[in-house]
């Protein structure tokens, strides 16, 4: 379906029971038929009445091709928004639909005076890392081991555990505005290449090395963790344990995640951490 044109899509809040049911179908198509955390039509609808967002992306024929769902609440006495789910059908991925859904969500919650949005993503998913850090300009607030306890019956989560980064998106921050304009400074790979890689060897395989106290370090993840997991569940599990160890060690000692990049020529993927 290479002819899909993202310019022809419409993004708006879902508004009819049939659309909420389509959203349930898209959730199961994305996370698996046995996914236990499906957001029901009732919750999709009711959340909208309390500042929540159930936004859908529709193609020119009116088919639901992507959605974003989030709820609004209070954190430390201030209104915030938690973006709980985002999915785009496979044939539409890579066309900026996820970005458009997040921007729609941002616009909707800003109408309520909300300035901060949170969500989670798997640190091993390189595509999500690129979207969240490079495209949206969000920051990593925390690493949580097995945040959701079980794999929720999802084929995407099975075998990897549920470790997550909590993302903080400060909607009016200069960094965010730069990212949305496509003006975030690019990683100078020549400069960061001198920063040690703390969790892999020369073959880019996960290894348990000594924690290195340097001002800047790099943490490597696979370019395609789902492919790695499907080919070798044991290797996928090794990546989880390996990265969990280094992220938790460095972040609890005051390091922050500054950037993510895919190395030109090798396709290797790295987070840059600094203190």
User: Is pLDDT of 1 > 80?
Assistant: no
Cα distance between residue 126 and residue 85, in whole Å: 17
Q: Check residue 202 and give its pLDDT.
A: 81
Q: Check residue 186 and give its pLDDT.
A: 87
Q: Check residue 4 and give its pLDDT.
A: 73
Mean pLDDT, range 138-142, rounded to an integer: 96
Domain boundaries in the chain? 7-180, 189-274
Q: Residue 10: CA atoms inside 13 Å, Cβ hemisphere, count?
A: 9
Q: Check residue 12 and give its pLDDT.
A: 97
Q: Check residue 211 and give its pLDDT.
A: 82
- pLDDT tens digits for range 34-58: 888 999 999 999 999 999 999 999 9
- Residue by residue, what is the 3-state secondary structure of the chain? CCCCCHHHCEEEECCCHHHHHHHHHHHHHHHCCCCCCCCCHHHHHHHHCCCCEEEEEECCCCCEEEEEEEEEEEECCEEEEEEEEEEECHHHCCCCHHHHHHHHHHHHHHCCCCCEEEEEECCCCHHHHHHHHHHCCCEEEEEECCCCCCCCCCCCCCCCCCCEEEEEEECCCHHHHHHHCCCCCCCCHHHHCCCCECCECCCCCECCCCCCCCCEEEEEECCCHHHHHHHCHHHHHHHHHHHHHHHHHHHHCCCEEEEEEECCCCCCEEEEEEC
Average per-residue pLDDT in the chain? Answer: 91
pTM above 0.95, yes or no: no
Q: How confident is the model at residue 6 (pLDDT cuts 50, 70, 90)?
A: low
- pLDDT tens digits for range 184-194: 998 988 889 99
Which residues, 6+ apart, have CB-to-CB distance to 232 below 8 Å?
none
- pLDDT tens digits for range 83-129: 999 999 999 998 999 999 999 999 999 999 999 999 999 999 999 99
Classified by CATH at the fold level, domain 7-180 comes out as: Aminopeptidase (3.40.630)
Q: Check residue 138 and give its pLDDT.
A: 96
Q: Check residue 71 and give its pLDDT.
A: 97
């Amino acid at each position: 379906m290479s002819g899909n044109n993202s310019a022809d899509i419409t993004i708006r809040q879902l508004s009819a029971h049939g659309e909420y049911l389509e959203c349930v179908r898209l959730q199961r198509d994305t996370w698996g038929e046995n996914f236990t955390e499906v957001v029901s039509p009732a919750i999709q609808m009711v959340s909208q009445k309390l500042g929540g967002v159930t936004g859908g992306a529709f193609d020119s024929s009116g088919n639901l091709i992507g959605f974003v769902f989030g709820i609004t609440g209070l954190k430390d006495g201030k209104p915030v928004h938690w973006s709980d789910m985002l999915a785009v059908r496979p044939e539409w991925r890579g066309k900026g639909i996820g970005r458009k859904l997040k921007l729609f969500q941002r616009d909707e919650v800003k109408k309520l005076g909300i300035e901060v949005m949170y969500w989670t993503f798997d640190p091993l998913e390189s595509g999500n890392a690129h979207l969240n850090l490079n495209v949206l300009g969000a920051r990593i607030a925390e690493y949580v081991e097995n945040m959701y306890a079980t794999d929720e019956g999802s084929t995407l989560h099975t075998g990897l555990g549920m470790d997550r980064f909590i993302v903080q998106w400060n909607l009016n921050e200069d960094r965010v505005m730069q990212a949305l304009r496509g003006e975030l400074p690019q990683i100078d790979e020549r400069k960061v290449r001198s920063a040690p890689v703390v969790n892999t060897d020369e073959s880019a395989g996960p290894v348990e090395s000594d924690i290195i106290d340097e001002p800047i370090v790099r943490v490597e993840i696979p370019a395609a963790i789902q492919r790695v997991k499907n080919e070798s569940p044991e290797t996928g599990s090794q990546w989880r344990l390996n990265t969990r160890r280094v992220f938790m060690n460095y972040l609890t000692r005051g390091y922050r995640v500054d950037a993510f990049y895919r190395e030109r020529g090798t396709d290797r993927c790295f987070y840059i951490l600094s203190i």
